């Protein structure tokens, strides 16, 4: 696969891209992996590109904007 863009991938391919990028999503180390999977759900669903999700996350992190509250290594909504 040469492109990870939504227009160039199927839903199944996007699920595989996220799973391979994150690692063992079934391990769910106290909820941290499930939070990451949820973060990329819009990409899997074909709504947002990965780069947009990452840019939004980084903008919240660097600016201190309100983001989901963290509990342990997982996120609460």
On whether the pTM is more than 0.85, the answer is: no
Q: Domain residues of the chain, as ranges?
A: 6-76
Asked whether the beta carbons of 42 and 53 are under 8 A apart, the reply is yes
Residues 14-39 pLDDT 10s: 999 998 888 755 554 555 555 677 88
Answer yes or no: is pLDDT of 63 > 60: no
Q: Which residues of 41-56 are buried (b: 16+ CB within 10 A; e: fewer)?
A: ebbbeeebebeebeee
């Amino acid at each position: 696969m040469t492109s990870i863009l939504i227009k160039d991938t199927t839903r199944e391919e996007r699920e595989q891209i996220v799973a391979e990028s994150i690692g063992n999503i079934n391990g769910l180390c106290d909820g941290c992996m499930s939070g990451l999977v949820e973060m990329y759900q819009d990409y899997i669903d074909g709504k947002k590109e990965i780069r947009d999700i990452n840019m939004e996350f980084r903008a919240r992190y660097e600016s201190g904007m309100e983001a989901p509250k963290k509990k342990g290594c997982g996120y609460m909504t």
